[in-house]
Amino acid sequence: MSMRLRHAVDEQKIVSMYIGGQTQDEVATSMSVSRKVVSNVLKRNKVKSRPAAKRNQWGAANTGWRGEKASLTNKHRRLYRAFGQPKVCDVCGTDDPKRTYDWANLTGDYDNPADFKRMCRSCHWKYDKKHLNFHAK
């Protein structure tokens, strides 16, 4: 049976650094220990953890950001998040709430939000020439 030995760490220094305003991650990095070690030291010394601060997770600040390598679906989601659901057609001018409206890409540059136009589904299909894809059986 093997026993795990705790390495000697300067617990008072860890506590003072954390109370001084550093995050647990910052303390762990500067003391060359894991964040879990810092957390355990703080618990043993009855120091309450601060709530995690809100961080900016939008766009390139997110670790999962894929930029231009994102899927077409995700590029459309970015567009809807930035500009919302279109409610009017820029081509025919209709604003009938019973119709479906899309953001239609104009040149194939899906990374440029300025390269989209609001269109009703009918105008969008005509613009994309969807009717050429229908074949007789």
pLDDT in tens, 67-115: 889 998 998 898 899 899 999 999 999 999 999 999 999 988 888 888 9
Q: How far is Cα 75 from Cα 73, in angstroms, rounded to an integer?
A: 5
CB neighbours (10 Å) of residue 120?
Answer: 23
pLDDT at 95: 95
> Which residue type occupies 11?
E
> Which residue type occupies 50?
R
**Host H or E run for residue 52:** none
| Entry field: residues in the chain | 137
Cβ–Cβ under 8 Å, residues 37 and 9? yes
pLDDT in tens, 35-57: 999 999 999 999 998 888 788 88
Residue 58 has pLDDT above 80, yes or no: yes
